[in-house]
Amino acid sequence: MALDLSRFQASGLETCFHDRHIGAQIYAGLSGKNWRLADYQARGGYQALRKVLGIDGGEPMTPEQVIAEVKGSGLRGRGGAGFPTGLKWSFMPRAFPGQKYLVCNSDEGEPGTCKDRDILQFNPHIVIEGMAIAAYAMGISVGYNYIHGEIFGTYERFEAALEEARAAGLLGNKILGSNFSFQLHAFHGFGAYICGEETSLLESLEGKKGQPRFKPPFPASFGLYGKPTTINNTETFAAVPWIIRNGGQAYLDCGKPNNGGTKIFSMVGDVERPGNYEIPMGTPFSKLLELAGGVKGGKKLKAVIPGGSSAPVLPAHTMMDCTMDYDSIAKAGSMLGSGAVIVMDDTRCMVNSLLRLSYFYMHESCGQCTPCREGTGWLWRVVNRIEHGEGRADDLTLLDNVAENIMGRTICALGDAAAMPVRGMLKHFRDEFAYHVEHKTCMVGGGAHKHAHAHATATA
């Protein structure tokens, strides 16, 4: 194809290379042109790996020391669950005689989230270095980075970075002359949200349909090809080099207790400056909103979905009291999730918003578990008829009931992910749904908005 598409391609200026990060570690110093190995090394890249391996004099760190440092950092999984990373690493059977695997989950498809794309696109070596250190700590010799198929250019970028690292002796056999060997490969998905779920991702890596596995056994004992496997998110691995260079305590001090370090938030929806913002854990939401230029068009904040589309929505007043960390958002009744912050202004109809999310979960349910396969469609049908003025008096109770009967009754968390937005919406915006049922129309936006409803859902 001879087309020059450059004018339609994002430069990263809006999402990544602005000056509105606070204390950036992962995005620090990036320009879009400095993703190559030499640039990364000029930023201090691969010093952490050298330190771990004792390349520049000094004793090599033991795997136990590396894990202890990560445990002390308070780093928690950046993919959504927030599980302590050091603890997860300590689960890997150290003495296991056979092959073990390390997997990076870059299948970033949680609606609202676009942080890992910018890490892999503009700073790929930070992920390679973090994975190499993790592999050393857990005695792993082979790893895969599973990258969202929709960001194919980023997958190719990561492949190019791998080639550079191999040529420089930073990956492969006897890395930098040490006795540590680690082979790392890139893998791409091809359009399945479910593959962000770790056991589904493993099935997909094995060349199958991405249908989740029962847990237990957990991947640490039965993972890729049935071998012990550790899976972490891209941003989690990207945090590791800084921790090794500066110490776990310093990382913890960047954030707040139990919520160490910086975190990248994808500010999307109704904000003036959508983009990724790397800020210390525990930063007030009001500050983050300010960094993103406030609500678009000076409108009033109505609601925020604080952790990707699966997180329960929170009303403006609750959100404005939150700090951006796992514990504060959980206490408010939602979750920090992947760090995607979907902002909605006061002209937004919650019925219409939920309808689009419910369609998504119906579309992406893998079909394995009955409560999810049938329940997600049921939720969508009920929300759809409410949206179209055909809601029935007991529909809100029905939605409560269906959501409750999906929650906790499926193999993986997609069922919960479909149910939680419904429960959150009904908890905080029940009046709006009730108004739709009773008056067969929307309480926000007026007539033009009603028309938009019909239009938006006709194609759904």
Partner 1 sequence: MSLSESTKARTPTLGAATLERFSKEVAKFPAEQKQSAVMACLTIVQQEQGWVSTEAEAEVAAYLGMAPIAVHEVTTFYNMYNQQPVGKYKLNVCTNLPCQLRNGQTALEHLCSKLGVEDGGTTADGLFTVAKCECLGACADAPVMLLNDRQMLSFMQPDKLDELVAMIRADEGKAA
Site residues for partner 1 per CB under 8 A: 1-3, 5, 7-10, 14-15, 99, 108-114, 116-117, 144, 148-153, 185, 187-193, 204-210, 225, 266-270, 274-276, 305, 309, 340, 342, 344, 348, 353, 356-357, 360, 363-364, 366, 455-456, 459
Smallest gap from Cβ 355 to partner 1, in A, equals 9
Q: Which is nearer to partner 1, 208 or 331 (CB)?
A: 208
Smallest gap from Cβ 276 to partner 1, in A, equals 6
CB of 339 closer than 8 Å to CB of 110: no
Q: Which is nearer to partner 1, 309 or 328 (CB)?
A: 309
Q: Which is nearer to partner 1, 78 or 348 (CB)?
A: 348
| Contact residues for 342 (Cβ-Cβ < 8 A; gap 6+) | 111, 112, 268, 269, 304, 305, 306, 308, 309
Smallest gap from Cβ 58 to partner 1, in A, equals 34
Smallest gap from Cβ 192 to partner 1, in A, equals 5
- Give the C-alpha separation, 338 to 217, whole Å: 24
- Give the C-alpha separation, 299 to 278, whole Å: 25
Residue 57 CB burial class (10 angstroms; 0-12, 13-18, ≥19): exposed
Amino acid at 57: G
Q: Which is nearer to partner 1, 206 or 438 (CB)?
A: 206
Smallest gap from Cβ 271 to partner 1, in A, equals 9
Q: Which is nearer to partner 1, 141 or 246 (CB)?
A: 141
| Contact residues for 448 (Cβ-Cβ < 8 A; gap 6+) | none
Smallest gap from Cβ 14 to partner 1, in A, equals 7
Smallest gap from Cβ 453 to partner 1, in A, equals 11
Q: Are strands 301-305 and 340-345 parallel, antiparallel or unpaired?
A: antiparallel
Q: Which is nearer to partner 1, 147 or 244 (CB)?
A: 147
Smallest gap from Cβ 215 to partner 1, in A, equals 21
Instruction: Choose among 338, 318, 343: nearest CA to 328.
Output: 318
Instruction: Choose among 205, 224, 228, 249: nearest CA to 74.
Output: 249
Q: At CA 279, angle to CA 278 and CA 280, rounded to 5?
A: 140
- Give the C-alpha separation, 271 to 277, whole Å: 13
Cα–Cα distances (Å) from 101 to 88, 110, 130, 137, 175, in that order, read: 14, 25, 15, 12, 17
- Give the C-alpha separation, 148 to 155, whole Å: 8
Eight-state DSSP code of residue 61: P
Q: Which is nearer to partner 1, 33 or 208 (CB)?
A: 208
Q: Are strands 301-305 and 142-147 parallel, antiparallel or unpaired?
A: unpaired
The token duo for 272 is: 């003036």
The token duo for 57 is: 């004099």
Q: Which is nearer to partner 1, 7 or 56 (CB)?
A: 7
**Alpha carbon 372 to chain centroid, angstroms:** 22
Q: Which is nearer to partner 1, 193 or 326 (CB)?
A: 193
- Give the C-alpha separation, 372 to 375, whole Å: 5
Q: Which is nearer to partner 1, 111 or 333 (CB)?
A: 111
